[in-house]
Amino acid sequence: MTEYFTPGENSPAEAIAAIGDELGLFDDWMDRYEFIIELGRKLPAYPAEWQDEAHRVQGCQSQVWLAGHEENGRLFFTGASDAAIVSGLVALVLRVYSGRARAEILGTSAKFLHDLGLIGALSTNRGNGVAAMVERIQEMAKGALP
């Protein structure tokens, strides 16, 4: 059975605040990158059979796959990437959006990525990619899950 990401925080806002606090512990972006990479290493295993076009996030420089399922009115996601830093970004995005009701997902814009300084610290392609992950999750929240 596939393990989906379950965040420790009770809401997207709490998750964003906690991520901001954690990133704030580091003085420079190299240390933050290491922290983000470590988050990616802790993601649940992603099924190899889901590393296909149906689950692939378009717009990412690296390969990124996302899948989700609904349980008790909440959407849970799992994801993976072929790049270490991007796996960490997947973990951050899942921490904000996984385990939430559709309304919470749709009510949480990708603006937090700018507010936390992530978009400015990433290459343009990586910034576009992480925004594409959020867009894909919100599309899934609007309709059927793959």
Report, as residue numbers or ranges, the catalytic residues: 60
Q: Write down the residue that tokens 């972006």 correspond to.
A: 29
| 76-102 burial: b if 16+ Cβ within 10 Å, else e | bbbbbbebebbbbbbbbbbbbbbbbeb
* Collapsed DSSP state (helix, strand, coil) of residue 16: helix
Q: How far apart are CA 35 and CA 21, in angstroms?
A: 12
